[in-house]
Amino acid sequence: MDQPVLSDKTQFPTEEIIFSHLGKTKDIWISFFEYLHENHPDIISEWRYYNDGKSWLMKNMRKKKNVFWLNVIKGAFRITFYFTDRAAKAIADSTIPAEMKKQFKDGKQYGKIRGLTVLFKYKKDIETAKELIAIKLSIK
C-alpha cells in the first residue's frame, strides 16, 4: 500500500502542496472536483490531520453522512467509501469494474461496514467514483 505523502502535521494541504505530489494526475484531480462541486454542491470537504495514520485526510460529508475519505499518495490520490451490506446489491448491479465488486464482496468487514477504494490514475476512474457516490447517496 502506498504511503500517504501529506504526513507533516504542521503543513496544511494547500492546492500547491497537493499538486506537487500529484504529478500527471493533477488534471484528474481538477476534473473530479469540478464534477463534485457542480453536481453535489452540498458535499462539504474538510481536511484534518489524523494522528493514528500520521497523515492528512479529506473527509467529504453530506449533512451528517460521510460520503468518502480522500488521501494523496505519490503520483495519485484515492478515495475510500464505506458501505453497509445494504449497498451490496447496488454495487453488484453497478457498472464499476469487476475487480472493485470483488474488492467489496471479499473485503474485510469493520463492524457492519466494508471499504471500497478508487485509486485515481486514469480519467476513467472518475466514472467509477461518480457511480459509487450515487450509490452512497442513495443508500439510507
Q: Is 129 helix (H, G, I), strand (E, B) or coil?
A: helix
pLDDT of residue 1: 53
Mean pLDDT of 108-125: 94
Q: In what order do the strands lie in the sheet with 55-62?
A: 43-50, 55-62, 65-73, 76-83, 113-120, 109-110
Please, what sign has the CA dihedral across residues 96, 102, 108, 110? positive
Please, what is the average pLDDT of the chain? 95
Q: Is pTM beyond 0.95 here?
A: no
Tell me the three cell numbers of residue 136.
Answer: 452512497
pLDDT in tens, 67-103: 999 999 999 999 999 999 999 999 999 999 999 999 9
2: pLDDT confidence band, cut at 50, 70 and 90? confident
DSSP symbols for 43-93: EEEEEEEETTTTEEEEEEEETTEEEEEEEEETTEEEEEEEE-GGGHHHHHH
When pLDDT is cut at 50, 70 and 90, the band that residue 140 belongs to is: confident
